[in-house]
C-alpha cells in the first residue's frame, strides 16, 4: 500500500471515529459533552491530515500531476 493510500485510510478512520462519537453523544445525553469533545478531536486530526496533504501537493506538484 502506498503513502497516498495509507493517508486516505487514516483520514477515513478519523472521519468514522468522529461520526461514531457524535452518534454516541446522541444516544447518551448525560455524557454527550465527553463524546462531542472526542468528536472534535477526531475532526481536528482529520483536518490536520488534509492540511499536511495539501502542503505536500504544493511543495511537490509533479508527483500528483504524474498520477492524474
pTM: 0.78
The answer to whether the beta carbons of residues 14 and 45 sit under 8 Å apart is yes
Residue 16 C-alpha cell reads as: 468514522
Q: What is the Cβ-side half-sphere exposure of residue 45, based on CA atoms within 13 angstroms?
A: 17
- How far apart, in whole angstroms, are the C-alpha atoms of residue 45 and residue 49? 6
Give pLDDT tens digits for 1-27: 777 788 899 999 999 999 999 999 999
pLDDT tens-digit series, residues 48-66: 999 988 777 777 766 555 5
Domain count, the chain: 1
Distance CA 54, CA 32 (A): 33
Measure the CA–CA gap between 35 and 19, rounded to whole angstroms.
10
Owning domain of residue 63: 3-67
Longest dimension (CA), the chain: 51
Amino acid at each position: 500500500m502506498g503513502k497516498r493510500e495509507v493517508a486516505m485510510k487514516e483520514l477515513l478512520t478519523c472521519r468514522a471515529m468522529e461520526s461514531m462519537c457524535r452518534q454516541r453523544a446522541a444516544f447518551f445525553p448525560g455524557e454527550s459533552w465527553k463524546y462531542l469533545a472526542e468528536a472534535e478531536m477526531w475532526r481536528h486530526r482529520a483536518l490536520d491530515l488534509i492540511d499536511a496533504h495539501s502542503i505536500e501537493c504544493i511543495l511537490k506538484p509533479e508527483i500528483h500531476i504524474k498520477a492524474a
